Structure 1
Amino acid sequence: MNKTILYARVSTSEQTSDHQLEQATKAGFQIDEVVTDHGVSGVSSRLADREGGRELLYKLRDGDTLVVRWLDRLGRNYKDVTDTLRGLLDKGVTVKTVINGMVFEANPRSAMERAVRDALIGFMAAQAEAQAEATKEAQRAGIDHHKAASPEKFKGRKPAFDRDQFKQVVALLEAGQGQSAIAKATGVNRNAVIRIAKNPAKVEAALERWGV
């Protein structure tokens, strides 16, 4: 039995896939299953490299329909989006968007329909990449402005531990020690230990900004 699967990618912790499902339902789609990637950028990761993306590609079969809010959910890199779309279409999967109700048929009825579909794929993918580049440029401009206006604020909160403590925490985490035990052994707050465990590179970058 053919299925209609919604793929929802949310790039920040403040976003949820529920909103994208609600939009799809309001647009008249009967969704059988939802596959989600949380906290994943469409700029820096290909669909096939994401956990949810791999699950999606595994589940989709000939005759199924993939629904996405817009093509930027698949990715924001021109080549990645076009390769992904064409791979899905070749597999027999029809792709539909919630915004503007675009339909990319897996099996066009004529050569003309195929030509129009393929031209549209290229245009939409290029638009997604251009939008991503514009967003990145605006973010860079905003960051540069705030760095100049308030360098201390840009640094963020100063870590309450030094680099030696950071290295001790990382070493103990790699050794499999518990977070509470690490906090007691190093004198680093347990919440800080949790932050280091989740994203040591981010914490190390904060130490760099503060010259610690």
Structure 2
Amino acid sequence: MSKTVLYARVSTIDQTLDHQKTQAEQAGFVIDEVIADHGVSGVSTKLKDRPEGKRLFDKLRHGDTLLVRWVDRLGRNYEDVTKTIRDFMQLGVIVKTVINGMVFDGATSDPMQKAVRDALIAFMAATAQAQAEATKAAQRAGIEAKKGDPKSYPGKKPSYDRKTFRQVVDMLAIGNGTSEISKATGLKRQTVLRIRDNRAGAEAALTRWGM
């Protein structure tokens, strides 16, 4: 009997295991088992090298489903993410994402369907790496800001918290428009545009305010 396994990589406050599981269940997924890695970098550590991630390759069988919040839970390096998804498809495992309900299935033999699928995998993997690099840039900016005068004014307090910031980033990644994101998050359209155009700066502002 096939099963659905949710894999969660927990690395920040807004990415708790409970949050990822609840989000999946609210999207209508029925989860048979949850496997999670805590505090493991998605940039420098391949899925097969993570304590729990490598269990997935032993546990999942043909016809099973691997469910992740988004492809960045599998990794944040373009080559690693694309290879990981292809490895699972070759095993007959279906990879699904909670965000936007993406499905990557290796069963198709139609060349056009394969081309569309592979292009989508490549795009999502590239986006995951770009987001990781933007996060690192924001962290560096925050550290540099803290090296200055500790009493210096940290700038205007952001009108969004880290959870809302993550929601905006996720929605941008899957192609939602600024007006749609503004309506979903309650943020002004101008705020969404600032986050879109300067994600590193927006995240650095959160860091300066300790948010």
Which SS does the other structure have where 1:92 is aligned?
Answer: coil
- Against the structure 1 CA distance between its residues 129 and 15, is the aligned structure 2 distance closer, same or farther, given a 3 Å change threshold? closer
1:65–1:94: 8 Å Cα contact kept in structure 2? yes
3-state SS of paired residue (1:112)? helix
Contact 1:13/1:39 (8 A) holds in 2: no
**Greater relative contact order (Cα 8 A, min sep 6): structure 1 or 2?**
2
Partner of 1:29: 29
Deviation at 1:148, TM superposition (A): 1.8
**What are the Cα deviations for residues 23-71 of structure 1, in whole angstroms up to 9, with x where unaligned?**
1111011111111101111112110110110111210111111100000
Over 3 Å counting, the alpha-carbon distance change for 1:131 and 1:13 in structure 2 is closer
Query: Once the two structures are superposed, what CA deviation does each residue of 1:9-31 show, in whole Å capped at 9, x if it has no partner?
Result: 10147752111111111101111
Regions of 4+ moved over 4 Å: none
Question: What are structure 1's unaligned runs of at least 5 residues?
Answer: 152-212
What letter is aligned with 1:73?
Answer: R
Kindly indicate whether the alpha-carbon contact (under 8 Å) linking 1:10 and 1:38 is maintained by their aligned counterparts in 2: yes
Structure 2 counterpart of 1:11? 11
Counterpart secondary structure, 1:149: coil
Deviation by residue 1:101-147 (Cα, 9 ceiling, x = unmatched): 11111212522111110111111000000000011001101111111
Deviation at 1:149, TM superposition (A): 2.3
Identity of counterpart residues, as a percentage?
65
Letter in 1 for 2:51: E
TM-score, length-normalised on structure 2?
0.68
Structure 2 match to 1:133: 133
Distance of 1:121 and 1:89 partners within structure 2 = 12
Q: Which amino acid aligns with 2:64?
A: D
In structure 2, distance between residues paired with 1:53 and 1:72: 13
Write the distance in 2 (CA, Å) between the matches of 1:149 and 1:52: 42
* Preserved CA contact (<8 Å) 1:5 1:35: yes
Q: Size of the alignment, in residue pairs? A: 151
Query: 2: CA distance between counterparts of 1:65 and 1:56?
Result: 11
**TM-score when scaled to structure 1?**
0.68
Q: Does 1:99 align with 2:99?
A: yes
Q: Distance in 2 between matches of 1:15 and 1:63?
A: 28
Report the equivalent of 2:118: 118
SS at match of 1:19: helix
Match of 1:66 in 2: 66
1:87 and 1:14 mapped to 2: Cα distance? 29
